[in-house]
Amino acid sequence: MIKRILRAGVCSAALYGSQLMAFEGFDGGLRVGYQTHQIDEGAKALAYASSLRLHANYTRESFISSVTLYGVAGFEDNGFEGIPFLDENHRSFLTVSEAYLGWKTDIYTVKIGRQYVETPFADRDDIGMVPNSFEAVTASYRLSDMMQAEAGYLNRWSGVDAPTRRSFSKLVQNGGVGYIGLQYDDSSEHSWSGWYYRGNTIVNALYTEVTWQQTIQDAVYDLGLQAAYLDLKGSGISRVLGLSLSRSWSDTGIVSTLSFNRTFGVPADNLFGGGPYFTNVEHNTLTEAGTEGSVGVLSLGSSLELIGIKDASVILYLHRQLNKNVTGEYDVDFNYHISENINLHAVYSQVRWPSRFENFHILAEYNF
């Protein structure tokens, strides 16, 4: 029954897409990407692509709807192993990543159809040409000014982390994945969230995260704690603990962060997105730490306004696999918000574990 409702929602939203553009807002964006990927001392593999995003939405009183179309064209070397730009066959493609109908009030929101989801174990992870998108039924309910409840059922997905980008594929073989979550944020110093996921043949997962923020003189301190329990059916049980401590100086724009994760049991899993773990970096995630893994990450970031470049920043990451006593990865992350509509993002990575490779990618985006 849920599958039939999802398909009906997707089809209805797509059929009325042209009407949506006529009645309400229309926007879009053009993203251009270039990437090189060199494994150990081998030849550099190349990828370049551009994606055109067209989005239309319609609202009338409490009724909401949205349609987003992506067209992606470019080139990837055969067998390219970097961040995927094209589809699973290294070809250009078209996809409808968003097509939903819904109902929204001041208290609750309900959506049915293809949509973007932002939860710890299912998210957009928009690092390539198209983000992750899900065929789903989702609902959120505002319990108070500081607390919100969420629930959803995810059936199919597509995107940068999914097996397919041209089409939508099943999250699990039999059925989908349901989730419920509760979030608290007082918009000042404290936040908390708790989530539960259940998939018939793949996972039962619990996740919680707590953050505190405190200002002392000219410095702001942030402390984060996280815990996860994943019953990866057929693989075993993984328990994860995490700690993150950062300090930022408001007068200089410098931020330093030290993060730590420890896995008890089988390797952790990011499930359906980039993953929530504090030590996940550009290529290495907690999954790569393996059984009984432990990872530490030190990062140092700064605004470039000190040298006269406004709205630009650079962050350096040092990722270390503590349980194997090896350096996993170095990253240099550069972001430049050139104007209200133009953004530039570039990352250079040297990965030393579990495999050795270098990756450089740059994305330029214009939104209209």
Q: How many residues does the chain have?
A: 368
Domains in the chain (CATH in brackets) are 1-35+50-185 (2.40.160.10), 202-368 (2.40.160.10)
pLDDT, residue 8, reads 42
* pLDDT, tens digit, 9 for 90 and up, residues 263-307: 999 999 999 999 999 999 999 999 999 999 999 999 999 999 988
H or E stretch covering 51: strand 44-60
pLDDT, residue 21, reads 39
φ, ψ (nearest 5 deg) of residue 6: -60, -45
pLDDT, residue 20, reads 39
**Does pTM top 0.75 for this prediction?**
yes
Q: Is a pLDDT exceeding 70 seen at residue 12?
A: no
* pLDDT, tens digit, 9 for 90 and up, residues 127-186: 999 999 999 999 999 999 999 999 999 999 999 999 999 999 999 877 899 999 999 998
pLDDT, residue 123, reads 98
Burial of 196 (0-12, 13-18, 19+ CB in 10 A): middle
Separation of alpha carbons 285 and 122, rounded Å: 15
DSSP labels for 233-288?
Answer: TTTEEEEEEEEEEEEEETTTTEEEEEEEEEEEESPP---BSS---TT--SS--GGG
